[in-house]
Amino acid sequence: MVERLTLAAGDAAAIAAQVRGMVPAPGSVADTVAATIESVRAGGDHALREHERRFAPAGEAVRLCVSDADLRAALDTLDPDVRAGLELARDNVGLVARAGLGEDRDVDLPQGQRIRLRELPVARAAVYAPGGRKPYPSSVVMGVVTARAAGVREIVVAAPAHAVILAACALCGADEVYRMGGAQAIAALALGTETIPPADVIVGPGNLYVQEAKRQLSGRVGIDGFAGPSDLLVIACAGADPHLAALDLLAQAEHGDDSLVVAASDDAALLDSVERALEALGRDRSSVAAGPKVLVEAADLAAALEFSEALAPEHLQLVGEAAEALAPHVRRAGCVFVGAASATAFGDYVVGSNHTLPTAGAARFASGLNVGHFRRSMAEVHVGGAATALARAGVPIAAAEGFAVHAESMSARIRENR
């Protein structure tokens, strides 16, 4: 079912809210997740195995640790074409990730002190790769390669023991791999068990239980964000291919019934063609979910861009010469794909950008997965001869706040007080 909306001047925020509202809000799983986390906190490996046993075939032993031999075997039997694709994805994601690294830098201030700004990787990072309905080796690539580029020494993956996922772990050089999933896996990675040391950061997509567990444990570990249902906005204008636009929309709709796919244009005839293509293509593509598909007719491309900024889509495609010219003006999107060749699907796999992106409008304030999620900034302070000038400035502030010993600590550095 395709929904058609008209965007009037000044209505961008309201239409964006209406479109977001077409995705039903998920029910709360907070209590269930909290109970799972507490059970792993209290019971460690035993509780974790009990949770995993619910999803294992009857009578099969629950083995948490994946051996190096299992990883090598999975890689050796991997389809050569899949391996070549994963290797290209690994290499491209690594190149883009390393380009985001910052170097230490010194800031010399007027009073004579120097502040060195340093970036340091976390010691241990965890990547969650979902595999409930389908395995996601691409999520292994996006997480492990980016963490390694950031300089993380220990990288662990939690995932179902699907052969293609294990092969991706081997290709990308994961240090440890565990057969586990769900909220219990996030709890084990964050809190640690007898077998699994705790991580400093946990990243990766997953179902609502996984994301809620990340949210509840975000005070204990760093997370990349709350990854909700996927969404795509295509802004198209005269010259865009409606068949390709429809195909790109349907591709993102494969992620599930709660995925949101939207096309906006100032060309009503183009939207008519996209609608016909959606209906024709959707009939014989069984993997496409029945989630909301929305066409928005805008007065002009400036209005379409205003709508995009209000929607803050996870993925934004700009197709057609005039639409592509909007790229420098985009401020709110997880990732922008410019031009007819730039299908969002490339970003999901091999182009080099990361596919773990802010959803549900979080692109207003959040970034896609990058080396920064695995690194932290630290200031290194060298006061030296600036102590006197800084003390004379800082002591009155400390006194005003009622912190007498703060003032004393600074004033003790004034030369004539030594």
- Average pLDDT score over residue span 312-331: 98
Q: In this predicted structure, what is the pLDDT of residue 251? A: 94
Asked if pLDDT for residue 296 goes beyond 80, the answer is: yes
pLDDT in tens, 178-210: 999 999 999 999 999 999 999 999 999 999 999
Q: In this predicted structure, what is the pLDDT of residue 353? A: 97
Structure tokens at 97: 């990730």
Paired sense of beta strands 201-203 and 293-298, if any: unpaired
The residues, ordered by sequence, that sit 6+ positions from 86 with a Cβ below 8 Å of its Cβ are 78, 137, 138, 141, 167, 168, 171
Q: In this predicted structure, what is the pLDDT of residue 369? A: 97
Q: In this predicted structure, what is the pLDDT of residue 2? A: 87
Asked if pLDDT for residue 75 goes beyond 80, the answer is: yes
Asked if pLDDT for residue 287 goes beyond 70, the answer is: yes
- 84: exposed, middle or buried (C-beta count within 10 Å: 0-12, 13-18, 19+)? exposed
Bridge partners, 96 (sequence order)? none
Q: What is the C-alpha to C-alpha distance for residues 90 and 84, in angstroms, rounded to an integer?
A: 10
3-state secondary structure the chain: CEEEEEECCCCHHHHHHHHHCCCCCCCCCHHHHHHHHHHHHHHHHHHHHHHHHCCCCCCCCCCCECCHHHHHHHHHCCCHHHHHHHHHHHHHHHHHHHHCCCCCEEEECCCCCEEEEEEEECCEEEEECCCCCCCCHHHHHHHHHHHHHHCCCEEEEEECCCHHHHHHHHHHCCCEEEECCHHHHHHHHHHCCCCCCCCCEEECCCCHHHHHHHHHCCCCCEECCCCCCCEEEEEECCCCCHHHHHHHHHHHHCCCCCCEEEEEECCHHHHHHHHHHHHHHHHCCCCCCCCCEEEEEECCHHHHHHHHHHHCCCEEEEECHHHHCCHHHCCCCCEEEECCCCCHHHHHHCCCCCCCCCCCCHHHCCCCCCHHHHEEEEEEEECHHHHHHHHHHHHHHHHHHCCHHHHHHHHCCCHHHC
Q: In this predicted structure, what is the pLDDT of residue 352? A: 97
Q: In this predicted structure, what is the pLDDT of residue 277? A: 95
Q: Is pLDDT larger for residue 160 or for residue 364? A: 364
Asked if pLDDT for residue 55 goes beyond 90, the answer is: no
Q: Residue 401's CB: how many other CB atoms inside 10 A? A: 10
Q: In this predicted structure, what is the pLDDT of residue 59? A: 63
Q: In this predicted structure, what is the pLDDT of residue 27? A: 81
Q: What is the C-alpha to C-alpha distance for residues 16 and 309, in angstroms, rounded to an integer?
A: 9
Q: In this predicted structure, what is the pLDDT of residue 262? A: 97
- Kindly state the percentage of the chain with pLDDT values over 70: 99
Asked if pLDDT for residue 288 goes beyond 90, the answer is: no
Q: Which of 135, 147, 334, 154 is nearest to 230 (CA)?
A: 334
Q: What is the C-alpha to C-alpha distance for residues 193 and 45, in angstroms, rounded to an integer?
A: 6
- Contact criterion met (CB below 8 Å) for 277 and 271: no
The yes-or-no answer on residue 355 being catalytic is no
Asked if pLDDT for residue 41 goes beyond 80, the answer is: yes
Rounded to 5 degrees, what angle do the CA atoms 271, 272, 273 make?
90
Q: What is the C-alpha to C-alpha distance for residues 235 and 304, in angstroms, rounded to an integer?
A: 7
How is the beta sheet containing 222-223 ordered, strand by strand? Answer: 176-179, 154-159, 124-128, 201-203, 222-223
Q: What is the C-alpha to C-alpha distance for residues 132 and 160, in angstroms, rounded to an integer?
A: 8
Q: In this predicted structure, what is the pLDDT of residue 283? A: 87
Q: In this predicted structure, what is the pLDDT of residue 58? A: 66
Q: In this predicted structure, what is the pLDDT of residue 367? A: 96
- Contact criterion met (CB below 8 Å) for 351 and 269: no
Tally the residues of the chain: 418
Provide the residue ranges of all domains of the chain, joining segments of one domain with +. 2-23+229-351, 30-101+121-225, 383-417
Q: Residue 197's CB: how many other CB atoms inside 10 A? A: 14
Token pair 């293609």 in the structure block, residue: 164
Of the residues 52, 314, 355, 373, which is catalytic? 314
Asked if pLDDT for residue 93 goes beyond 90, the answer is: yes
- Average pLDDT score over residue span 219-240: 94
Q: In this predicted structure, what is the pLDDT of residue 382? A: 97
Q: In this predicted structure, what is the pLDDT of residue 115? A: 97
Quickly state the pLDDT bin for 292 (edges 50, 70, 90). Answer: confident
Q: Do the domains at 2-23+229-351 and 30-101+121-225 have one common CATH topology? A: yes
Q: What value does the mean pLDDT of the chain take?
A: 94
Q: What is the C-alpha to C-alpha distance for residues 353 and 198, in angstroms, rounded to an integer?
A: 28
Fold classified for 30-101+121-225: Rossmann fold (3.40.50)
The hierarchical CATH code for the domain 2-23+229-351 is 3.40.50.1980
Stated pTM of the model:
0.93
pLDDT in tens, 158-185: 998 899 999 999 999 999 999 999 999 9
pLDDT in tens, 378-418: 999 999 999 999 999 999 999 999 999 999 999 999 977 76
Q: In this predicted structure, what is the pLDDT of residue 290? A: 77
Q: In this predicted structure, what is the pLDDT of residue 418? A: 62
The yes-or-no answer on residue 315 being catalytic is yes
Q: In this predicted structure, what is the pLDDT of residue 134? A: 82
Asked if pLDDT for residue 132 goes beyond 80, the answer is: no
Rounded to 5 degrees, what angle do the CA atoms 204, 370, 343 make?
80
Q: In this predicted structure, what is the pLDDT of residue 143? A: 98
- Average pLDDT score over residue span 20-49: 93
- Kindly state the percentage of the chain with pLDDT values over 90: 86
Put residue 69 in one of left, alpha, beta given phi > 0 → left and psi -120 to 50 → alpha.
alpha
Q: Is pLDDT larger for residue 191 or for residue 257? A: 191
- The whole-angstrom distance between residue 320's C-alpha and the CA centroid of its chain comes to 28
- Average pLDDT score over residue span 10-20: 93
Of the residues 315, 324, 355, 373, which is catalytic? 315
Asked if pLDDT for residue 60 goes beyond 80, the answer is: no
Quickly state the pLDDT bin for 305 (edges 50, 70, 90). Answer: very high
Alpha carbons within 13 A on the beta-carbon side of 94? 15
Q: In this predicted structure, what is the pLDDT of residue 365? A: 96
